Chains A and B, each alone.
Chain A
Amino acid sequence: MTKNTDQPAAVKNTAVSIAGWPVQQVFRLLEYPFSKIQRGVGVQGMPWIFLLPNLIFFGIFVIIPLFINFAFSFTGGTELFLSNRVYTGTEQYRFLLDCKTFGDPITCREDRFWKGLYNTFIFVFFQVSFLVLFSLITALILNREIRGRGFFRAVFFFPVLLSPVVVALIWKWILLRDGILNAFLVSIGMDKILFFVSPEWAMFWAVFVSIWAHMGFYTLILLAGLQAIQPDLYEAAEMDGTSKERVFWRITLPLLWPNLLVVVVLALIKGVQVFDEVFVLTGGGPGTATQFIVQYIYNTGFTEQVQNFGLASAASIVLGVILFVLTMLQLAVTRARDNG
């Protein structure tokens, strides 16, 4: 009897040691250089050594370009290399911020920058609000014991796997004059709607498609948060006869708050950075109705005959400052809430 139970364990141990052998060899190879490094930098310095590859990558592709971009924003002309560009001081910022009335883009010297900014705020307001709301509702539903739960989780997550260009093209084909949706409308006796000619419809679909494409990701974050809440709390509330609404407001929502904050911050940052989906879907039109700030930067820097890298850089710095302020505000609100 003893023999029977020990035999599979022995086989398992052998399999583990065979599978682990290459790993052991790699670690043995690394041991010598790493022990040398540790002697040099000390145990406290080792985390930095492990972070180094990532820091180098981050530095080359994020930090250095950030500084170069900042420097570009103080230059003018069309030269590509910073050393060849003419220093113009704060001219680009003064040009961007030259407005008679900030509430009316038409009165601004660079009206398209301000239109882009206003459109971005409108988009972010609706997109983030509904994205968080729908993600929360979906996560709450998928957290329950429903039939086909795994299937539905996959269904909601699937659009996240698609490229933004593919997402936009799929919806464009649906929404075109001769697209599927208009064919359906005609089949039920309605008139065709030219969705991309109306500013309101174009903005609606830009928000809708963006929510459709990204909701699965945020649902997943919230679902993970919901599953981390201890079931004992719900059981205790049930035993006390607490209503479902009260359970949601008093247990679920407060304990989900850290995840919600992550979702809001991420959605906000991604919302302000929106470009590819909407660019392919509406092209920024009609007129400038769905032209957002990143598209303005792209147009200014790349699509005009005079590629105004300085102005585009200044606009991107302004965008960066706005994002930074928004994030700080959110963190401040959260801290105040936690402390209060």
Chain B
Amino acid sequence: MLNFKRLLATTSVLATLGATSALAETELRMMWYNDGSESEVMQSIIDRFEAKNPDISVVIDVVPYKSIMESLPIQLAAGAGPDLARVTDLGGLSKYYMDLTPHISDSAYWEASFGPFLDWLAPDSDRISGFMTQLTVTGPYVNKTFFEQAGVAMPGDGATWDEWAAAANDVADKLDIPIPMAWDRSGHRVSGPAIAMGAKMFNADGEPALVDDGLKEMAQRLYDWHQDGTMTKELWGSVSGSSYLGANEDFANGQVVMYMSGSWQIGQFSGTIGDAFDWWAVPAPCGAAACTGMPGGAALVAMKDTKHPEEVGKLMDFLAQEENLAEFYGKNLFIPGHLKLATGGVDFATDDARAKHALSTFAGAVPKISPTAFDLQGYPNNRIMFNALISRLNEAIVGELTLEQAYVRMEEDVAKQLAAKAVD
């Protein structure tokens, strides 16, 4: 009987302890999207964090990129968002970010490591809200094997968009390749070349001014390229509005000579294309004003509605450490968004010469990026401009509007959305 009582008491104590420890455990939810398989690398780093902090568990909710763009803002507005999220609308969602400063151990380290990017996340304040999981630069890839087979010399550093278009057409004609040139259907992708042509994007007062002669120069070229077959209408013309479409699969399948995208494709191309052909990143082609792409990237940010700010701060502090980010960038072949690592501190986990060349090409393009491009990337309402640009230009390309009508509509769309936002 005594043994039974002891057993009962021990069981009760254990059960109480178990319940207490279960109650003490904090679960953090991280909304995440993948370009490749970077959530796996993040999970392995988080596993180490959880081992050191057994009272905190972190769940990575991997969702489609579309959910990050469309569902996350609604969740955040409803106060039902995740504790952390990987986002690309860096400034657009900034009102939902928390200030990590009171919850991190060394804010000076964050300032020194992520300085300029912190402004992208908090355009109107000195908050520290997160760090870049990757810095991206837009730019083209070419199928170098096609150029070699066609006996066409690749235009060199400093070549213009017109020269590249002519060369891509030449290769496509000689080898009967269906698509000489393809661009991601994205306003962000068009903006870099437009700035290269002289687009200012903002007026003298710093207000958005999307349409000017520089933008018209680039828009006219894109329009012409779609009409003369340099670009296929199937990619840009086959959807409406601001929907994103990439030509990465067409490029990987050897259907495209030149593909305008960005550095985030490196890991994917390294895996999917492999040795099938030489895919080659080339420097941003030039316009009259510059030879520039657009900077950009994705950031992991903490949300202010979290019920566990201390734990979130602890986690972010851990993830932002140099060795962890070096591992993350290195394994995913991402251009580092950490200033020290960006100057050569990452050992990229690849033996693929094409991937290494692409990484050095895009990393080398960063100093050449136009200040206008940085300003546009840092502008919190930049998606309004990107969406107006791509959707109206598309309507002109398929013949629903003239280019002049499209320019008027672009400006109206931007004004309409800014006015809607100003009502709050």
Contacts and interface: CB of A to CB of B under 8 A. Distances in A.
B421 A306 contact: yes
A305 B384 CA distance: 6
B233 A194 contact: yes
Interface string A262-297: 000000000000000000001111111111000100
Given A86-B424, A111-B409, A285 B70 contact: no
Contacts of A310: 420
Interface residues of A, number: 37
B237 interface: yes
Contacts of B395: 287-288
Contacts of A127: none
A17 interface: no
A310 B424 CA distance: 12
A305 B233 contact: no
A12 to B, nearest CB: 54
B417 A308 contact: yes
B246 to A, nearest CB: 13
B234 A303 contact: no
B407 to A, nearest CB: 14
B424 A78 contact: yes
A311 B384 CA distance: 16
Contacts of A199: 398
A62 to B, nearest CB: 20
B108 interface: no
A291 B241 contact: yes
B276 interface: no
Given A196-B238, A197-B234, A286 B92 contact: no
A284 B92 contact: no
B238 A302 contact: no
A304 B417 contact: yes
A303 B407 CA distance: 21
Contacts of B381: 305-306
Contacts of A284: 239-241, 243
Contact of A289 (B74, B383, B384, B398): B398
A78 B420 contact: yes
Nearest to B380: A305
B69 interface: yes
A251 B394 CA distance: 53
Nearest to B396: A287
Interface string B68-93: 01100110011000000000010010
A109 B239 CA distance: 22
Given A286-B398, A287-B395, A76 B234 contact: no
Interface string A206-244: 000000000000000000000000000000000000000
B237 A306 contact: no
B37 interface: no
Contacts of B69: 303
Interface string A300-323: 001111111011000000000000
B405 interface: yes
A287 B400 CA distance: 7
Interface in B374-401: 381, 383-384, 387, 394-395, 397-401
Contacts of A283: 238-240, 243
A177 B234 contact: yes
B136 interface: no
Contacts of A77: 420-421, 423-424
A106 B233 contact: no
Given A196-B234, A287-B400, A305 B241 contact: no
A288 B401 CA distance: 11
Interface in A165-210: 177, 194, 196-197, 199
18 contacts: A77-B420, A77-B424, A79-B77, A80-B74, A88-B423, A106-B401, A111-B409, A283-B238, A283-B243, A285-B238, A286-B239, A289-B240, A289-B400, A291-B240, A303-B242, A304-B383, A304-B384, A304-B387
User: Top 9 A-B pairs ranked by shortest CB distance?
Assistant: A283-B239, A284-B240, A305-B383, A287-B398, A80-B77, A77-B423, A76-B423, A196-B238, A77-B424
